[in-house]
Amino acid sequence: MFKLLKDKLKSFFGKSETKEKKTESVKKKSVKEKKTKKKEKNVKEIRKIESLEAEVSNEEIESEIKEEQIEKKGFLSKIVSKFTNTKITKEQVEQIFEELEIVLLESNVALEVVDKIKSNLIEDLIGQEAKSKDIKNKIIESIKKAISDVLIDSPDLIKEIKDKEGTYTILFFGINGTGKTTTIAKIANLLKKNNISCVLAAADTFRAAAIEQLEIHANNLKIPIIKSQYSTDPTSVAFDAKVYSEKNKIKCLLIDTAGRMYTKDNLIKQMEKLIRVIKPDKKIFIGESTAGNDIIDQIKTFNEALGIDGIILSKSDIDEKGGTALSVSYITSKPIYFLGIGQKYEDLKQFNKKEILESLGLD
């Protein structure tokens, strides 16, 4: 996750390899290139190259190093080196931001979040001593803070479940194919690992395959499942599961609901009824990290129709960009509880702001 964003931020800030390392790598590169050339030429030419090789001066290597250093200095250093005034102006912050904006947008960070980061930077940097020797670090710190400000720390769901007296009920929403069923199974597995008893409710009665799919997971994990026929009223399935949980003192009830967009009136009414009757403790939206800005629209739609409390992002292991995880909480004001990081039951990770900043190379 975050590979693209991390690489781009790195080149924006500029790398700082030691000169020794560079000298070594440039020398190696130079020798390797010549060896390849050797293979391609006949013996006569090899002799020629060898005599030329002897002439490869240290100056040549030095100049190659300098070129690489300029290349790896990064955009930020280039901009800062052009500062001639004493205090940073709004125009200069905008100039710094121009490149950063592209980096963020290319990494799927939503426009609203890009604008928020920009206004944080303007507030933080205008009036700073432009010529001070540590201005570059100050700018980097300010960018880190701006990115950190848009992330929300995730609440401890396991603790919340344990702290509640009686059955804790979680309702899951999400579009088909995004990993909803697998993610519910991952949560069940996590609960088991934490010695929390749980039961699954197959209230996605819209698709026969969804009931079967959830049943396979329940069997694999050896946990009970409450199900009914295809097209049964989902509220009745959820209600049966709630009664079962309370009667059997099950600590957590996980309800799978139909994976459709709730834009049609009858579907909203069906779900509103389920929520009114079951009164879940948590309504969680599961969406694909790889969906980019589409997932933000999906969450907004679900939230307006039914009100959600939190998010789980599946498939973050195959999301190279990472901007969705960065922007979704800020825009929806809902925390990300977990990230799906693979296809196995154990591949679920608690969302941790500090770790995200670390993985971006920002902490």
The residues that touch ligand GDP, with contacts defined as CB under 6 A, are 174, 176-183, 213, 259, 314-315, 317-318, 340-343, 347
Closer of 243 and 318 to ligand GDP (Cβ): 318
Least spacing, CB of residue 226 vs ligand GDP, in Å = 18
Least spacing, CB of residue 160 vs ligand GDP, in Å = 23
Closer of 111 and 208 to ligand GDP (Cβ): 208
Write the DSSP string, 305-335.
Answer: HH---EEEEE-GGG-SS-HHHHHHHHHH---
User: Most distant CA pair in the chain: distance in Å?
Assistant: 91
Least spacing, CB of residue 316 vs ligand GDP, in Å = 7
Closer of 154 and 182 to ligand GDP (Cβ): 182
Whether the CB-CB separation of 341 and 316 falls below 8 Å is answered with yes
At which residue do the structure tokens 């079962």 appear? 244
Closer of 3 and 66 to ligand GDP (Cβ): 3
Burial of 54 (0-12, 13-18, 19+ CB in 10 A): exposed
Least spacing, CB of residue 93 vs ligand GDP, in Å = 38
With H, G, I as helix, E, B as strand and everything else as coil, classify residue 175: coil
Least spacing, CB of residue 340 vs ligand GDP, in Å = 3
Write the DSSP string, 248-302.
Answer: TT-SEEEEEE--S-TTSHHHHHHHHHHHHHH--SEEEEEEEGGGTHHHHHHHHHH
Closer of 178 and 329 to ligand GDP (Cβ): 178
Alpha-carbon torsion (60, 64, 65, 69), positive or negative: positive
At which residue do the structure tokens 């790598």 appear? 25
Alpha-carbon torsion (9, 14, 17, 23), positive or negative: positive
Closer of 113 and 286 to ligand GDP (Cβ): 286
Closer of 103 and 184 to ligand GDP (Cβ): 184
Burial of 181 (0-12, 13-18, 19+ CB in 10 A): buried
Whole-Å CA distances, 330 to 109, 182, 277, 305: 11, 26, 31, 19
Closer of 5 and 313 to ligand GDP (Cβ): 313
Supply 87's token pair.
């205090």
Least spacing, CB of residue 223 vs ligand GDP, in Å = 16
**Closest chain position to ligand GDP (CB):** 340
Closer of 177 and 265 to ligand GDP (Cβ): 177
With H, G, I as helix, E, B as strand and everything else as coil, classify residue 204: coil
Least spacing, CB of residue 275 vs ligand GDP, in Å = 20
Whether the CB-CB separation of 312 and 286 falls below 8 Å is answered with yes
Least spacing, CB of residue 10 vs ligand GDP, in Å = 25
Least spacing, CB of residue 231 vs ligand GDP, in Å = 18
Calculate ∠ Cα 84-86-91, nearest 5°: 70
